[in-house]
Structures are given as structure tokens and as C-alpha cells.
């Protein structure tokens, strides 16, 4: 609610304006570049063992800010989301490109080890990334993650088959 947000993130100053505790706790924000050259927006809150939130800098920061007590939270917007650069129409989005976004943030901020958090589709990405990068992911926090599944082309509905050269 708006009242809860004001109570959580700001208080009135002597001149009637608002001073945001959220902004005061922000260590830094900026952009990293992924291998495709796209800028990825990030924001860091708190101090301590790094936690990398794989998505949601554009909308989750205020909700998860209490987790910054005693640890460092790194929020970032994946390619094509929030404040990050849009994905060109001819560039495919793959798990590899999702991993490259995580790696770009990790390298830019110098994170050797971190806790990875994800939910829904991003939970699937986080789980696959952790399985592929066990040397850098210390912990994995998933909420409502989509489970990975191999699906044979023959299992897809008939109208889902893509035939080259046909619209």
C-alpha cells in the first residue's frame, strides 16, 4: 500500500519533502555489458555476502530491500527488461544468453561466489545456471520455479510444429 511504502522507504523532512531510506542504503547502481553489447541495469543494496537476484531491479527492489540487512543484494534487469537495453528482433533469447547476463553482472561487480535467487521462469534459469556453475553459486533460493523438462518434438501439439519456409 502507498502508506506502507512511505513508512518503509521515507519520512518527511523539515521542508515537507521526503527523504528516502531506500536511496540512502543504495551502494551503487549502473550498467554492465553482456557479450552481445547490451547494457544491463543493476542496483546494489546492503553489505555482506553477495546475493544475486536474477531479475526485478525494475520492480522488486522495495519489496526485497529488508533482505539487505546483513548482506548485499544485487538486483538487475535482464536483457530486454526494465532499464536494460532492448533485445534486437533478430537476437534469439536462449538459456545461454540468460546465463551470459548473469555472468556479465557477476564479472562487472567482481563476484567470485554468490547466492542466486529466482522465481517462475527466472527460477528455471537460476536452477540451470547453478547446475552449470556449481563453482560460483553457493546457495540457490527458488520460489515457484518452473521445472526443467525435455520435450520431444513428437510430444508437441501438431499445430506447434514449425516447418521451415512456411508461415
In this predicted structure, the answer to whether residue 11 has a pLDDT above a threshold of 50 is no
Q: What is the pLDDT of residues 81-138, one digit of tens each?
A: 999 999 999 999 999 999 999 999 999 999 999 999 998 999 999 999 999 999 999 9
pTM: 0.72
3-state secondary structure the chain: CHHHHHHHHEEECCCCCEEEHHHHHEEEEEEEECCCCCEEEEEEEECCEEEEECCCCCCCHHHHHHHHCCEEEEEECCCCCCCCCCCCCCCCCCHHHHHHHHHHHHHHHCCCCEEEEEEHHHHHHHHHHHHHCCCCEEEEEEECCCCCCCCCHHHCCHHHCCCCCCC
Q: What is the mean pLDDT of the chain?
A: 79
In this predicted structure, the answer to whether residue 157 has a pLDDT above a threshold of 50 is yes
Amino acid at each position: 500500500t502507498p502508506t506502507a511504502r512511505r513508512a518503509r522507504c521515507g519520512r518527511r523532512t523539515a521542508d515537507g519533502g521526503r527523504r528516502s531510506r531506500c536511496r540512502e542504503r543504495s551502494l551503487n547502481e549502473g550498467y554492465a555489458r553482456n557479450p552481445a553489447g547490451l547494457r544491463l541495469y543493476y542496483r546494489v543494496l546492503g553489505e555482506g555476502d553477495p546475493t544475486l537476484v536474477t531479475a526485478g531491479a525494475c520492480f522488486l527492489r522495495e519489496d526485497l530491500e529488508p533482505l539487505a540487512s546483513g548482506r548485499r543484494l544485487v538486483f538487475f534487469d535482464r536483457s530486454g527488461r526494465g532499464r536494460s537495453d532492448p533485445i534486437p528482433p533478430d537476437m534469439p533469447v536462449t538459456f545461454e544468453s540468460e546465463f551470459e547476463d548473469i555472468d556479465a553482472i557477476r564479472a562487472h561487480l567482481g563476484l567470485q561466489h554468490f547466492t542466486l535467487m529466482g522465481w517462475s521462469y527466472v527460477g528455471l534459469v537460476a536452477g540451470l545456471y547453478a547446475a552449470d556453475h556449481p563453482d560460483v553459486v553457493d546457495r540457490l533460493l527458488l520460489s515457484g520455479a518452473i521445472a526443467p523438462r525435455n520435450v520431444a518434438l513428437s510430444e508437441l501439439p501438431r499445430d506447434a510444429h514449425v516447418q521451415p519456409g512456411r508461415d
